[in-house]
Each structure stands twice: as C-alpha cells, then as structure tokens.
Amino acid sequence: MSESNANFKFAFYLGCIAPNRYPGCESAAIKTCKKLGIDLLPLKGASCCPAPGAFGSIDLNVWYAMAARNIVLAEQMKMDIALLCNGCYKSIWEVNHKLKHNKDLRDGVNEVLKEVDMEYKGTINVYHIAELLYNKKYVGADKVRDSVTNPLTGARIAVHYGCHLTKPHKEREFEDEVMLDTEHPVWMEELVSAIGATPVEYRNKMQCCGAGGGVRGYDIVHALDITNEKLINIQEVGADALTDICPFCQLQFDRGQIEIQEKFGVSYNLPVLHFCELLGLAQGMSPQDLGLDLHGISCDPFLKKVL
Amino acid sequence: MTEKKATTKKTESKKQDTKKVAPVKQEVKKQAAVAPKTAVGSTTEQKPRIGVFICHCGTNIAGSMDINEVQKYAETIPGVAFADNYQYMCSTPGQGKIEKAIKDKKLTGIVVAACTPRLHEPTFRTATKEGGLNPFRFEMANIRDQNSWVHMHDREGSTEKAKDAIRIAVAKAALLQDLYPKSVPVEKTAMVVGAGVGGMQAALDLAAAGIKTYLIEADTSIGGRMSQLDKTFPTLDCSQCILTPKMVDVGRSPNIELMTWSEVHSVEGYIGNFDVTIRKKARGVLTPKEAEARGIVGGGCNGCGDCDAVCPVVKPNNFEVGMKPRKAIYINHPQVVPLIYTIDFTSCVKCGLCVTACGPEKRAIDLESKDEFITVKIGTAILATGYDIFPIENKKEWGYKRYENVITSLEFERLICASGPTGGHLVRPSDGQTPMRVGFVLCAGSRDNTGNGKPYCSRFCCMYSLKHAHQIIEKIPGCIPYIFYMDIRSFGKMYEEFYYRIQDEGAKFIRGRVANILEDPKTKNLHVMADDTLLDRPIDMEVDMVVLASAIQPSADTNRTRKLFGVSCSMDGWLLEAHPKLNPCGTTTAGVFLAGVCQGPKDIPDTVASAEGAASAASIPIHMGEVELEPYFASCIEDKCAGCGMCVNLCPYSALSLVEKDGRTVMQVTEAKCKGCGTCGGFCPGGAIWMNHFTTPQIVAQIDAFLLGGEQ
C-alpha cells in the first residue's frame, strides 16, 4: 500500500459542489484513490461542467461548448478524466461521447472553441470514480477490501445511486457490464460490503434524490417532498447512514434534512456520506481529514458506531 | 473475355494476372470435353445467343435505377442476342416473353435480372423449359435484394451495379450446359419433433393419411404447454378436457410411434431419405413392451405409483412451474400420456426402494438403464419445438423473483387450475391469502425495444390475460383485476367480443406501460407505477398480487435441433419459413417443415392450423413417391484423379468414396447424397472434380467478367 506505486493517472475534474460545499468529498477522493494506485491530478482552469439540467434545458449549444472546453483541457494534459459527481458525469461523459460520434456537432463546437484557441479532438475518455472503484481493470471490490484497515463492521448503509450515472440506459456504455443495470443495480452494495459494512435494501431505491434537473433551484418544496419520501423509505429499514456517489445528491439529502425540518417539521438525523468519504473512514483516515465536520447533519452518532 | 483482348487493354500487372488465369481456364475447358455426364448437345458447339430480361418489379427495381440504360448496356455485352424489360417478369406475360424470345431469336441461354433465385428461380426455369431449352440454361442476376433495395437513393450507382450483375450472369449463361435432374424414391415414413398440441395434430393428420409417423418428445409425456393451461380463450373450454382425447388418440394410433424422453441426436441424408438418430434418454422404467422384450411377461410400468410413494428424494415439479414437489421417480401429472414413470437420474440416490415397491411381477424399474440410440429412415420431417417463457426476472423493474407476490402468467395458470398445486385457489405466495386486487402487466418483455426484452408481439398474452381477469372475477367475489396494457390485440374469431365481455364483467383497464413495481416490505403488497396515458397522469396502484404476461421465446433446444435439420432462424430465434406469406410451413431445406410456435408466436387455433398445413405439405412428397434432386452434384474426371482420397474425408455428406477401376484407385460420387456444396471441387489438388452448374470455367468466366469490367 505504498503511495508511490500509482498505476493510473487521471485528470481530476472537481465540479462545483464538491470543492465549494463538501470539500471532504474532494479530499476523500484524492486520498482514497492514491491508496488504490490511482493518482488524481488537478485539471487546471476547469469551469462548471455545466450543470446538465440547468444548462441543458435552456441552451444545449452552451452546454456542449462549455463541457467540450473542460474536455479539451484534459486532452491537453493527455489524460482521461475522472470525476466524482453524477451531474458532471452526464455533462462531461455524454458531451464527449456525442462529439466523438457526431461530426456536425463537433465542427460546430470547434467553431466556438476557436475563439479561445482550442480544438476538441476526441482523444480522451471520461470515468466516474465509482466506476474506477468497481471495475477490476482499475481497482475492483477485492482491492478495495484489501485497502481497508478499519472495517465498518455492523454499520447498516443505504445506497443511493443517483440518476445521471446510470440513466438514460440506452446512452450508457460502461466497460463493466454489471454497471449497465439501471433498474435494480447492486454493484454499489458490493463495494459497501467490501469495506465491511452491511448494505440495506429499501423501498424505491432508484428514486431520484429530488434535486436534479433544476428541480431544487426551481421548486424547492417539490424537491424536498421527493427527498422526504426517500428518507422515510430509508428510515423504515433502519439504516445508520446513507452513501451516495454524487455531491449534488449529497447536498439534497444533507442540507435537505435541515430544510425538511424547517419546512415540514420532520427530522431524520441520517448522516449522508459520499462513498469516497466512507471508504476513507474504512482506510483509517480521520473524520477531519475527510471534512465530515463540515456536513449539515452530524456524522457523530455514526462515527461512534464505526470508529 | 478472351486473353488477347484483355491483355491489350489492361495495365502490366493486370496482364500478368490474366496470363495466370488464362492457361488454367483453357486447361479446364479441355477437361470439360472429357468430363463424364456433361456431354451436351450440339449447342455447345454453336456461338452462345443469350437473352437478357430485366424486371421492374413494379417500382422495387425501376424506382431506383434507369432500366432503359441497363437494357441498352446489356445489348452491347458479347454473346447477348436479345434484351428486353417488363414490369413483372414473373407474371404470365413476362414469362411469355422469355418463351417467345427463345423460339424467335434462337436463344441458347437466358438471364433474368430481377429478384432473388430463392423466390423465382423455379418460375424462370419453367419458362426456359417451356421455350424449348433445358431449364438449367437459365441464370439469375439479383438486381433487387442486393441492389435496388440497398441503394435505394443512389440511382446512378445502382444502375452501374445492375450492369455489372448482368454482365457476370451473361458470362456464366454462355457456358451453361444441359443438366437432367435425378428422381429418388421417398421413404413412406415421416417424423414430427415435439409433441405439444401442434406436433400432436401434425402426427395425427399424417397417421390418418396412412403415413407411419415417429413422434419425438423431449419431455416425459406429451401435451406440451397446452396441457399446463387451465382454460382456453375465448370459449373457456377446459384445456385438459379438449387436449386429453387428442393425447389418447396419439397414444393409440397404430401409425404413430411415440418416443417420449427422447431427442433428435443426428440427421443425415436428404428429402425422401433422411436417416435420423434418436437419443432415447435413460428412463429407468420399462414400458410393458420393453419388459416383454426382456422376457418379463405381464411386467413393465402400469402407472400404479407405488414407486412414487416410497421414493425419498423430493424435487420441484417443472410441470407445476416448481410450485409443487415431485419425487426422483415421477410423472408430470395424473393424466399423462404415456402413463409411464421416469427416473430423474440427476437426483436419484439409487436407494432401490422403488425397485422393491414395484415388486417381482412388474419388475419395471431398471436403475442401470442407459441412453439408447435408434436410427430410423424417414421421408419428411416436421419441427414443432414450441416455446419457453422469457426469463422475466431480467426485467428488474418488475421485481420477479425479488418480490414474492409477483408471478408469471404460467404460474397463474397452475394456481387457478383445479388440478394445480393449490387445487384451483389463487393465493399470494407470501402468505397464502386470497388476493382481492390483482395487477396484470401486459407486454412484459414483449414489444420491448430496450434491448433487454423481445421486440416482437408474443400474440396471445392479451387474450389469456383477459381470460385470467374473467377467472378471478368468477372465482373470487369482489376481486378486481387491473389490466395495464399498451394495446389490447384481440384479433381472432370472437376475440373482440370476449374483450367487451370482460370489460362488462368489471375488469379495470389502464392504458400505460408499467415503469416500476415496488413492494411494501411489511405487507408484501405491491405498488404498480405506471403512466395512465388516457387520463394523462402517473398512477400508483396498490395491489395484492401482480401477474406478468411474460414474453415467449423459442424453446431451449430449438437452436440445436434446427441446425441438425439445416433450418435457418430469423434474428429473434424463431425458425425461418420458406416464404412468410406463401410458404409459411416450408423451410429452405427440402423435406423439412414447420408447425406451430417454433416458427413464431401463435395461439392454439393458429398452431393447430399451421400443424395441419405442415402435415399436408409433408405428406405430398410421400404420396408422390419420388422427388427430383437438383443435378448440382460433383463428378470425377477419372483421367485426372490420383486417388489420393483427400476429398473423401472433406465431404460433409459422406457422398464420396474410393473405388478400383481399370486397375487404378479413383474417387466415385454417390449423386443422391451429394449436395453440390463444392468443398471437394475447390480442394482437389489435381483439378479432377467437376462441379455441375458451378464448373470452374463458369466461375472463372464470371470473375473475369467482373474484373475486366466493360472493357472486354
């Protein structure tokens, strides 16, 4: 587990929410991946992905061009992109895929990029960190298990996959076919088991967090209503914490619980952790290293149970 | 096409190529003279006069290319004496044109540029024959399937491609020779593979027509899927009651030799003379006949079930879709035909209790029994291999095998059937309670373009789901069926009327595909989430039980069996008929026919009709007594044959052998066995094998015509 034997290097695309609201996600991703032989190097000069719901609903061409610019930065580093947010995955992966396969679109985007002396070439691939962790080609559940020094034994964890990583099913092309299951995937549960915790099934697991597609920005009460339903379903099965692989989902579940308390008068106090944060705990990192003290809902009861 | 012309016009490298080809070609031409049975009439001596006929196929061809330009070009091809075009060459006037031109223009060969030889080669061969030529003086250029259909929007390109195709066909037509088909006698015996309702009907019809028929069934008893059903739509007949008499007839018919627990192991031969080897799987139980053959007089299985009572091994009964137990020695259900027990040797512990229970008189049980192989000779065969249920657990959104109260329609049939595992009481698997709200998901895996399902309509699910709705309304007072559908396809006789009847009885219809089913972890009730497209709103319907009308797919052994008989399948795995409209029971392998669902989803009436059609088609060659074989066989040029025997080992049809002739070893062809595949002809190091109708000079001429383009 020496930190020098990195097998893979990726340009690390941060997105917006991780660095601004949950810096713990960012540091957890870099530190845990390092222990698993993956170097995440800063993608300097990157902008917003831009948010697929907000930008995509209003002007697709802006969405294409801005995402393409982020991809070109990685092309210039001659590195594939790794990212940790489902929204970013939809923007960066999907635009990259579309531009690779549609010449007209590529030409149009390149005309825009010319203004900043850039050209999209289509030379790199885009990966979600959860994909790198699950796919044996990069890490795989066995290696994740081997990296664990503090197994989270006895912790009952509910998994939230989020929407944009797996859907729309027809447009996703994961190297590991197991990840193509959109309706009832269990590969995240495998990773949760690998760090010693117990994954728990709950009703309507694949329901949206409520935030995506601009719903949180447009109609917060409606968004919280959906979040509330998920929290009820998770509470029903007695989970100790919820794990996600998307900082925006995390925001909705974590901040959202405070907003639900304010608006609906219900409280759940369910700790919400990005899987990288959870993995960091299992690899023996301190809650401060992982920025868990910055969460809206206190992680302390959960930490007491697992540390 | 001659060497001289080619070399003057081509580049240096091409010159070398043609030089390489030319000597071989001339050599082979000389062989033609010595080849046996290829001596043709005086026509070989005379200059070829080829007639070219271009078909418009309505607008299928004419819409995508310039027919006049193609015809003008055809007239310039050396050897072409006449060219013409017509809207439908296959029509009577079209064929008349060919017949007339042969006589008027003294033609020696015919080229029709039209569709595919699979469709109309026999048509135009007949026209050629009617005109006074040998029918094998005909060659087809496919300018539709391989040209106008694929280059629909490239008029110029398809015109040029049509010219190439015609030039190549003319090159071959100039070298075609008279051939004479051979007739072979047809064995007066047939075989039907699969003894569901389709296979049984086909076998009964053949038997009634006086033809001895082997009926092969992979399961331990006959009846197939229909015997698992409770009632049939729209008449609500009891399925068993109408099927059992047929099963008994099959068991009794003197012309039907029933082989259950058996499968086709290998097939050799050709129409009229198939040698089929059957693998009779080890059954462990002797029939009275088999017992008698072993000298046990009055012995053999009489179906008493004493063995069943003592067998200690318990396994799920597949006939009851795993919802009822059976022993290691078992019958599927009490009405089985034949009433002979079977030992499942994969689970039998050979304790011998059954042997003792069977007793010293019957001595029906043989724990050491082995698979047996029996070869029979048949004239024609019918495949009736049926269907399986699509593994609907692959559609995870509906939670089959994850939620206890989500079942398939076949499981519903067994649960509602009086002879089923619950005696006809529909109960929830989770708690044995009677459901009062039942959701039916139609098109479960059918009409599904997600890539995780079947794109086709399974055709009978709408109707049986309506029947299911009727059955629960009838049996459980107050129970409401909720039918989630895309369209209700009630296409058959009295089907639409049945649909209205079920509506009136109180079934609720929701037009919307079910997106998701969620289980309440406490009550095990199910929430069916769908979009009600008529009210334009999402719906969350809580029900006690969900029945998935799962798609169907070809039965597990279909692919292996079809390969043995040389039958193709379409992309979705259903067996391919010779023509979807005009020859739905035939296949492209002469003497092999299709009955029932193996050709595509069918309900019971359609299956029976298709089976009767297949039986009729399969009986024709048998009643005719002999069939003509295409004279495409290989023949040996004995002067050239070194007797090395390499071709003998290569032949996939065992048609070749080595014989002593005039003190030399030479190869000899059994023409009736030869399929004209050309494997031997292509391989023979000495060029000593002559492939009729695909001779080396003919093929080389075609290649030359293509490579040398229009510059000859």
Q: What are phi and psi of B503, to 5 degrees?
A: -60, -45
Residue B169 neighbours by CB under 8 Å, 6+ apart: B111, B113, B139, B140, B141, B702
Nearest to B396 among A184, A203, A204 (CB): A184
Chain B positions touching A206 (Cβ under 8 A) are 516
Tell whether B520 is within 8 A of chain A (Cβ).
yes
Q: Which residues of B391-430 are buried (b: 16+ CB within 10 A; e: fewer)?
A: ebeebbbbbbeebebbbbbbbbbbbbbeebbbeeebebee
Q: Which residue stretches of B303-363 are H helix?
A: 306-310, 353-362
For testing the chain A interface, which of B392, B396, B524 should be mutated: the one with the most A CBs within 10 Å?
B396
- Res. B312 pLDDT band, cuts 50 70 90: very high
- pLDDT at residue A234, rounded to an integer: 96
Q: What is the three-class DSSP state of B610?
A: helix
Tell whether B397 is within 8 A of chain A (Cβ).
yes
- pLDDT at residue B712, rounded to an integer: 44
The neighbouring-strand residues paired with A217 are: none
Please report where in the chains the tokens 């198939």 appear, as a residue: B274
Distance from CA of B396 to the nearest CA of A (A): 6
pLDDT digits (tens, 9 = 90+) for B540-563: 999 999 999 999 999 999 999 999
pLDDT digits (tens, 9 = 90+) for B442-461: 999 999 998 899 999 999 99
- pLDDT at residue B652, rounded to an integer: 82
Higher-confidence residue of B22 and A254: namely A254
Tell whether A289 is within 8 A of chain B (Cβ).
no
Do residue A169 and residue B396 have CB atoms under 8 angstroms apart? Answer: no
> How far is the C-alpha of A27 from the C-alpha of A17, rounded, in Å?
13
Identify the CA nearest to A90 among candidates A212, A186, A223, A187.
Answer: A212
- pLDDT at residue A6, rounded to an integer: 62
Tell whether B396 is within 8 A of chain A (Cβ).
yes
| For residue A207, pLDDT beyond 80 | yes
Q: What is the three-class DSSP state of B206?
A: helix
Indicate the length of chain B as a whole number. 712
Nearest to B521 among A170, A184, A203 (CB): A203
Do residue B451 and residue A170 have CB atoms under 8 angstroms apart? Answer: yes
pLDDT digits (tens, 9 = 90+) for B370-424: 999 999 999 999 999 999 999 999 999 999 999 999 999 999 999 999 999 999 9
Looking at this predicted complex, what is its ipTM? Answer: 0.83
pLDDT digits (tens, 9 = 90+) for B667-682: 999 887 788 889 999 9
Tell me the CA distances in angstroms from B166 to A68, A178, B360, one per residue in order: 51, 52, 78
- What rounded mean pLDDT belongs to chain B? 92
Tell whether B395 is within 8 A of chain A (Cβ).
yes
Q: What is the three-class DSSP state of B397?
A: helix
| For residue A132, pLDDT beyond 70 | yes
Contact criterion met (CB below 8 Å) for B28 and B696 = yes
pTM for this one?
A: 0.83
Do residue A203 and residue B520 have CB atoms under 8 angstroms apart? Answer: yes
Tell whether B13 is within 8 A of chain A (Cβ).
no
The neighbouring-strand residues paired with B343 are: B329
| For residue A107, pLDDT beyond 70 | yes
- Res. B34 pLDDT band, cuts 50 70 90: very low
Three-point CA angle B239, B243, B249, nearest 5°: 170
Tell whether B402 is within 8 A of chain A (Cβ).
yes
Number of Cα atoms under 13 Å in the Cβ half of residue B127: 28
- Res. A214 pLDDT band, cuts 50 70 90: confident
* Nearest residue on chain B to A234, alpha-carbon basis: B521
Chain A positions touching B395 (Cβ under 8 A) are 183
| For residue A293, pLDDT beyond 70 | yes
Burial of A262 (0-12, 13-18, 19+ CB in 10 A): exposed
pLDDT digits (tens, 9 = 90+) for B211-235: 999 999 999 999 999 999 999 999 9
- Res. B524 pLDDT band, cuts 50 70 90: very high
Please report where in the chains the tokens 């635009």 appear, as a residue: A95
- Res. A5 pLDDT band, cuts 50 70 90: low
- pLDDT at residue B710, rounded to an integer: 55
Tell me the CA distances in angstroms from B451 to A165, B51, B388, B445, one per residue in order: 19, 49, 19, 10
- pLDDT at residue A4, rounded to an integer: 43
Chain B positions touching A204 (Cβ under 8 A) are 516, 518
Report the share of chain B in percent with pLDDT over 90: 86
Contact criterion met (CB below 8 Å) for B159 and B134 = no
| For residue B46, pLDDT beyond 90 | no
| For residue B22, pLDDT beyond 80 | no
Chain A positions touching B518 (Cβ under 8 A) are 203-204
- pLDDT (average), residues B627-654: 90
- pLDDT at residue A53, rounded to an integer: 86
CB atoms within 10 A of CB A99: 22
For testing the chain A interface, which of B516, B520, B527 should be mutated: the one with the most A CBs within 10 Å?
B516
Distance from CA of B322 to the nearest CA of A (A): 25
Tell whether B521 is within 8 A of chain A (Cβ).
yes
- pLDDT (average), residues B296-324: 95
